[in-house]
Structure 1
Amino acid sequence: MRQSKFFTKTRKEVSADEVSRNAELLIRAGFVHKEMAGVYSYLPLGLRVLRKIENIIREEMDNVGGQEVLLSSFQPKENWEKTGRWESMDDLYKVVDSSGREVALGPTHEEIVVPILKNYVSSHKDFPSNPPLSIYQIQNKFRMELRAKSGMLRGREFLMKDMYSFHTSKKDFEEFYTKMQGVYKTIFSRVGIGHLTYMTFASGGTFSKYSHEFQTISSVGEDTIYVDEASNLALNKEVLNDEVLSQLNLKKEKLVEQKSIEVGNIFDLKTKYSKPFDLSFTDSEGEKHIVLMGCYGIGLSRLLGTVVEVLSDDKGIIWPESIAPYAIHLLLLGEDENVKKEAEKIYETLKKSGIEVLFDDRGGVTAGEKFADSDLFGIPLRVVVSVRSIKEGGVEIKKRNEEKGKVVSLDDLLKICSKNSTN
């Protein structure tokens, strides 16, 4: 992509009411546009990052046998009344259409997926095992968030992956639930924050006694967790008690208090949503049972914002290679015709080699401005073509997270890119 063709431009500052670092950097870099508190539109660079996160999550959900769907955002009031959440859920958006009909804008989809499934299952034979029946989607959610002041971390409209699993036995559920713990660890490692993210013992809320959150260490986090480095486990502040410590064989004096951002969670729903809709099956003896459920959520928008919070510096974002909008930021410096021709040749060579490259071919922009924009964008590898680099026999390359660059030949650049793509 040629940067000269972008309709977006970088900014030196943002509105004073934008207090979160993640939103400030994303807006300045032209990745997102703020519509109102807690609501952002994704621009070309931001959408590329979001889609890469989405693809990683989709791959992992498919690997465990998840079946992808896309469910309605408009949800019947009657369904929410059946589960008792029409009145009890404080952040539920309620919409009245011109006919006076009330519907909910979906913050989650238990009230939709369970009634749908009821149309298709009735016997234990309808529930496969290894892997069990699981349904997921990646879709915008809506919540009437009163504290939408943390950029992408706390939105009123946000992209989320929600998966629901269905089981005929507790054993089947527990095996899948344990497997999903490992899957979530893999996802957070793949997006570049695995070293900062802990599986955290937490309250199960209205679903069950306990659940598991995945918390990323960050000074701007709203949660407080207590980390045991030896076991790579953590406890949410709300469940820090002798019972849980004993159950997990942890010593309170060895726990380290940290601020954190919740990037994912998994819950044992038991029969909380299957029972109101009578989602049931008959076993081999003809006896009826209510289906057991689990749910597994990751907010993609929040995950993107979290990466920016924890992987950035005073110059801008530092994207992990796995989710960066482009692999290379190619910078053309100066107006020399020979340099321009060489930069064009390199750009075409990189594209033909299947390398994702953003080409800063803008004229009338100083080298300093191009370097500043490149640091702000956070693309992993900067490649500079200039009079000096050509004289030295190639291009100057510098990783975003390193201070010094070096000149390499085009062949060596292609080898470096090939090596990075296979890691």
Structure 2
Amino acid sequence: MRFSKTFIKTLREAPKDETAKNGAFLTRAGYIHKEMAGVYDYLPLGLRVIENIKRIIREELNKLGCEEVQMSALQNPEPWEMTGRFSDQEVDIWFKTELASGGVLGLAPTHEEPITSMLKSYISSYRDLPLYVYQFQTKFRNELRAKSGILRGREFLMKDLYSFHTSEEDLDKFYAEVEQAYGRIFARLGIGDDTFETFASGGIFARYSHEFQTILPVGEDTVYYNADKSTVLNKEVFNDEVLSDLGVKGQKFEETTAAEVGNIFKLKFKYSEPLELKYIDEKNKQQTVYMGCYGIGVSRLMGVVAEKFADEKGLVWPEEVAPYKYYLVGIGENGVAEAEKFYRGREDQVLFDNRNVRPGEKFADADLIGLPYRIIISDKTLANGAAELVDRFSGESQMIELANLNKL
């Protein structure tokens, strides 16, 4: 992409109402545009980051045999009423809207009820199971206070996966596979070393559920971890009874803040029973389908990665997440001509800053936008038959011969 052909403009200062680091830098660097509190537009650079996160998630889930769908955001109240969750007293974050013809619809905060209701048309026999279905879907939650940039929004992008099984043993097996897949996803996103599977309350349907928490100073959750971080617990389950249950009572635990980036939950019959999702087993008897659900906050992950790696100059994207790999600058007549040669055929890898502005402004924007590598081709470097390659993460600079540069 040529910088001169995009409408993106960088800002020297963040808007006064954008206090979180992720929101400030993402806005300044032209990744997002704030419509109102908790509601953001994703601009070309931001959308490329979102699509990279989705690609990583999609690749790992597809390896497990999961199938992708796209469900509606507008919600028929009927299945929600059958589980008791359309009531504002039961779920107090609904956005609801009235039809012109009469009646009320909801904007989905999650999709357990609609996916269970839909699959009644597709699951009838044990031969139809197991089944794993996921989507990337915009969710709507009427949060009392949207804050922390894109870490907590009223409109956000989520990956929600639902699994359907004939037995608890099969549910347990797939649950473990998802745990491993989530580990690979977070590792590829660059946050694997600081993201931990965390014990959380499982409500009335299970002793525990599991969250995936990334240690982060601005995180809204409090977690406790032991010396080797082999056991991490959400504050809500941190007590002597739980520590004893997990066999870690007596160990020393440290407290820190973290941001939840994913969760997994063995639903069992929580939704399949009230919505009557049944199948006929091998003995021709009707049985209730076992279920699990597995979420990842896609837009929140973008905010977490931005928040975690940013420095005083701007964003620092891991290579698999970055919207482009290289930020290209040509200086001087020959430098610009050589930069043009390098750019051709690499349009999907390179953001070419071909604007008619001072080199210093280009370098500042390169640091703010945070692509993994900056390439500078100038009349000075060309005198040595080379270009300068700067690593955004380490700040290290090296001269690379043009012949080797063209192999990148």
Is this a same-fold pair by TM over 0.5? yes
How many angstroms apart in 1 are the aligned matches of 2:360 and 2:283? 76
The answer on whether the counterparts of 2:53 and 2:189 sit within 8 Å (CA) in structure 1 is yes
Match of 2:97 in 1: 95
CA shift at 1:368, angstroms? 1.3
- Does the 8 Å CA contact 1:392/1:407 hold for their aligned counterparts? no
2:329 aligned counterpart, secondary structure: strand
1:319 maps to a residue whose letter is W
Closer, same or farther: CA 391–195 of 1 in aligned 2, 3 Å: same
- Residue 408 of structure 1: CA displacement? 1.0
Q: What residue identity is the alignment partner of 2:353?
A: D
How far is the alpha carbon of 1:228 from its aligned partner?
A: 2.6
- State the Cα distance separating 1:115 from its structure 2 match: 1.1
The correspondence for 1:189, drawn from 181, 187, 190, is: 187
8 Å CA contact 2:197–2:211 kept in 1: the answer is: yes
1:19 matched to which residue of 2? 19
Q: Distance in 2 between matches of 1:377 and 1:253?
A: 43
Counterpart-to-counterpart distance in 1, 2:168 and 2:64: 18
1:342 equivalent to 2:330? Answer: no
Query: What's the CA shift for 1:137?
Result: 0.5
Deviations 1:209-262 (A, max 9, x none): 310000000110110111234253311111112232233322454322110000
| Equivalent residue, structure 2, for 1:396 | 388
CA contact (8 A) 2:4 2:353 kept: yes
SS of aligned partner of 1:139 = strand
2:154: which partner in 1?
A: 156
Per-residue CA deviations over 1:79-113 (Å, capped at 9, x if unaligned) read 21111011110001111121221011011111111
User: Quick one: structure 1 residues 331 and 119, their matched pair in 2 at CA, closer, same or farther if it must change by over 3 Å?
Assistant: same
| Among 290, 300, 306, the residue aligned to 2:288 | 290
Q: Structure 1: which amino acid aligns with 2:307?
A: E
Q: How many residues align?
A: 406
- Residue 316 of structure 1 corresponds to 314
| Aligned match for 2:201, one of 186, 194, 203 | 203
| Pairwise CA RMSD | 1.5
SS of the residue 2:56 aligns to: helix
Asked if structure 2 preserves the Cα contact closer than 8 Å seen for 1:151 and 1:305, the reply is yes
- The question of 1:379 aligning with 2:377 is answered no
The Cα shift of 1:167 comes to: 1.0
Amino acid at match of 1:99: S
Contact kept, 8 Å, 2:316 with 2:372, in 1: the verdict is yes
Runs of 5+ consecutive residues of structure 1 not aligned to the other structure: 418-423
Give the whole-Å Cα distance in 2 for the aligned partners of 1:403 and 1:73.
Answer: 44
Q: CA deviation at 1:332?
A: 1.7
Offset of residue 162 of structure 1: 0.3
SS at structure 1 position matched to 2:86: helix
Matched, 1:368 2:360: yes
Contact kept in structure 2, 1:80 and 1:111, CA below 8 Å: yes
* CA deviations over 1:339-379 (Å, ceiling 9, x no partner): 2212212222645xxx601111111x111111110001110
Determine the structure 2 residue equivalent to 1:212. 210
Q: Does 1:357 align with 2:350?
A: yes
- Looking at structure 2, the residues matched to 20 and 172 of structure 1 have their Cα atoms a distance apart, in angstroms, of 42
Q: How far 1:410 sits from its partner (Å)?
A: 2.0
Which amino acid in structure 2 is aligned with residue 294 of structure 1?
G
- Give the TM-score of the pair, scaled to structure 1: 0.93
CA drift at 1:412: 2.3
| Preserved CA contact (<8 Å) 2:165 2:289 | yes
Change (3 A) 1:102 1:70: same
